[in-house]
Structure 1
């Protein structure tokens, strides 16, 4: 994909950018979260790392989604009106278009609530204390256990 004959096409520039985002997502969502699973870290034991990983992975997810939309727009436009596609995405204009998903991802990193990793379920949640007794957000949540209402269970 890095050969000059490919990088002349806007779709390859967008796909290369998306590949960089995907590699970063794999690092944070697989390697770092795998390490946190092995060490058994919870948000209480390592809040700074878990918060930063959550912010960055949420921003990368948003930036990746926006880049996919940009790639879809690029490909649809190339099918419908190739001349218009060349006018909009031709030359270095693609790099300018890639600023939009980058800004979108940065906004997610800085201004949204991140998903936080918990080794209890080996996953990321908005509430890192999910299903830990005494840490329920509401009375309604405490009545549920893994989707089944405790009131309706007959033993």
Structure 2
């Protein structure tokens, strides 16, 4: 934001007068097929998110469990991120737009979209930490994330995203390359002096790409240890309580699979996007990275619906049971 408000500095870095971006005709800059696919994914993914959010807002677990509140926030941020990974870059690809078509608007779009991405990544990280702490010690998890404390973590993630997006140079949507780049003048001019590099981007992507698998490895070890202890203590005085814990294993595994798959989808594009900011890659690799990013956002509702029992049950009750009741009521009224 500081760069945007400083006219002299903005003009020195984002001035398009030293080259002619129309030297490449718009027809050659367009990528209609990838852009159309991204727009189709945008429609499908957003439609899948809506019923999940509705179930989250009505489910008892969403109001009681801190992990579900984190999942709800992550789903809302993902819906916003899909605008950058699918809608914006899809439209730009079809039109063949580059930074110099609308410098000011593109700069502002880049700030907001990157802030949303960083906030969502941080919520993802906090969710993984929440799962590990709860599996290790539920009492300590309640002390750290219980009641209204989870909202402090959520607010911290949003503040972090805003700082990352608005305090540093943002990525710019590039329809000619079908991706987001910190160098706004690609492919017409290279950033030889590193004027557009985000100094914290490598650290952020490394923490997400390396930290999330590490947290879920810890989660898996803790879960196996806890289940082994429960299995070995079936003959103790609180045998009934321990067996209840064993019966809860499928639900624990489902929660683990949910957060693991969501995180793996985010990791799939993290290193790709980081690599192509510093090294030249073929166009197909850039397009692949963009689709990986889009799918990392859009597969979240599919994972929720297929692996989360509470959401699947709520989805069925709201959209299947209520529809059957309505049909029965209409049939009775006709009689």
C-alpha deviation, 1:38, in angstroms: 2.0
Work out whether 1:119 is the aligned partner of 2:170.
Answer: no
Work out whether 1:63 is the aligned partner of 2:63.
Answer: no
Structure 2 matches for 1:2-151, cutoff 5 A?
Answer: 2-6=57-61, 7-132=63-188, 135-138=189-192, 146=280
Unaligned runs of 5+ in 2: 1-55, 194-278, 283-335
C-alpha deviation, 1:147, in angstroms: 5.7
Measure the CA separation in 1 of the matches of 2:132 and 2:83.
31
- TM-score of the pair, normalised by structure 2: 0.40
Deviates more, 1:43-52 or 1:73-82: 43-52
Write the deviation string for residues 14-62 of structure 1: whole angstroms up to 9, x where unpaired: 0000001100000122112211222221111111222122111211111
Q: Describe the shift of the 1:138–1:84 C-alpha distance in structure 2 as closer, same or farther (beyond 3 A).
A: closer
Structure number with higher relative contact order (C-alpha < 8 Å, ≥ 6 residues apart): 1
Contact 2:88 2:173 in 1 (8 A): no
Measure the CA separation in 2 of the matches of 1:58 and 1:147.
22
Q: Describe the shift of the 1:118–1:4 C-alpha distance in structure 2 as closer, same or farther (beyond 3 A).
A: closer
Unaligned runs of 5+ in 1: 140-144, 149-155
Match of 1:152 in 2: none
Aligned length: 141
Q: Which has the higher helix share?
A: 2
